Amino acid sequence: MTTNVVIQGASRGIGLQFCRHLIQKGTNVIACCRAPSQAEDLQKLKSEYENQVDIVKLDVTSESDIQEAAKYVSKCHGGKLDLLINSSGILHPSGRGETSLKDVSFKGLEDTLRVNTLGPLMMAKYFGPLLMAGGGTIGKKSSDPRKAHAGILVNMSARVASIGDNRLGGWYSYRVSKTALNMVTRNLSIELGRGRKKVICVALHPGTVDTSLSRPYHKNVPAGQLFSVEQSVSYLMGIIDGLSSAETGRYYGWDGKEIPF
Ligand SMILES: NC(=O)c1ccc[n+]([C@@H]2O[C@H](COP(=O)([O-])OP(=O)(O)OC[C@H]3O[C@@H](n4cnc5c(N)ncnc54)[C@H](OP(=O)(O)O)[C@@H]3O)[C@@H](O)[C@H]2O)c1
């Protein structure tokens, strides 16, 4: 049976590495990004694995793009989805998180929320039915048919989203957007968990990863704590592969430990 995965935010960073990782496992990867012609690394991957990669244009802040992409996936990829990863994200439109209130603006907050929170929610609206029709090939298999799951929805969160763990302050737009994304994830786990086969919905923190998002802050990261994308994605796939419907609605770090909301 074909395993269908949508990676949203696949042009670079962690999203691109999810594509690489899943292709190696023989998965059919539908890689969504907002500017396919500029996504050189993704295009290179497609040229190497022509039959396993389909690149679809999708700006996560555009409802019509999301709707069109979902219709396309439904029509051209068998109407079912085993895994959706919302990986796109921005720290702030300026590339740096706010350090104090004087840096906070409506524009910065709104733009960050649109990419990090509202986009993933709209993805669930249109891709939810495909996830409900999928499942079984990713995640932990249950011998009890009453506990069988449908597809899995992963929202890329961040540890700084944790209210309980917030001791430093700052980064208003990013923290607010990811905390709200965690609420979105928990809400989705309830609504998409009502069917006979439940869609598993989780929020994951990838660690501090060597990508352009975190680049301005690399010098502050203690030695050994800056992960490569390969490291981070292999940890995250370990968590995803072990998920069952009992874990839906939870928020995990890269090490598989739950993070307090
Ligand atoms: N790196 C870390 O240390 C770290 C830590 C905690 C959480 N995270 C989270 O992990 C996820 C992946 O981050 P990353 O480190 O891989 O960042 P990254 O290398 O900067 O990549 C960000 C991705 O988001 C895409 N994107 C931005 N705006 C978009 C839009 N409007 N529509 C569609 N795609 C859009 C980018 O596409 P373009 O190429 O088109 O710009 C790019 O593919 C994010 O959600 C981030 O918040 C990362």
Residue % of the chain over a pLDDT of 70: 100
If pLDDT is split at 50, 70 and 90, which confidence band does 30 have? very high
Q: Which atom of ligand 1 is nearest to the CA of 209?
A: 3
Residues 6+ apart with CB under 8 A from 88: 8, 9, 15, 60, 115, 116, 119
Q: Is the CB of 239 under 6 A from ligand 1?
A: no
pLDDT at 147: 84
Q: Alpha carbon of 187 to those of 191, 207, 235: distances in Å?
A: 6, 24, 25
Closest CA to 133 of 151, 114, 148, 153: 151
148-181 confidence digits (pLDDT tens)? 899 999 999 999 999 999 999 999 999 999 999 9
Q: Which atom of ligand 1 is nearest to the CA of 116?
A: 45
User: Class assignment of domain 4-252?
Assistant: alpha beta
Closest CA to 177 of 159, 156, 161, 166: 161
Distance between CA 159 and CA 182 in Å, rounded? 11
44-63 confidence digits (pLDDT tens)? 999 999 999 999 999 999 99
Per the listing, tokens 């706010």 go with 98
108-158 confidence digits (pLDDT tens)? 999 999 999 999 999 999 999 999 999 889 999 888 888 889 999 999 999
Q: Is the CB of 38 under 6 A from ligand 1?
A: no
Domain boundaries of the chain, sorted by first residue: 4-252
Closest CA to 120 of 72, 172, 187: 187
Q: How many CA atoms lie within 13 A of 235 on its CB side?
A: 18
Distance 181 CA to ligand 1 centre (A): 14
Q: Is the CB of 31 under 6 A from ligand 1?
A: no
Average pLDDT of 63-77? Answer: 97
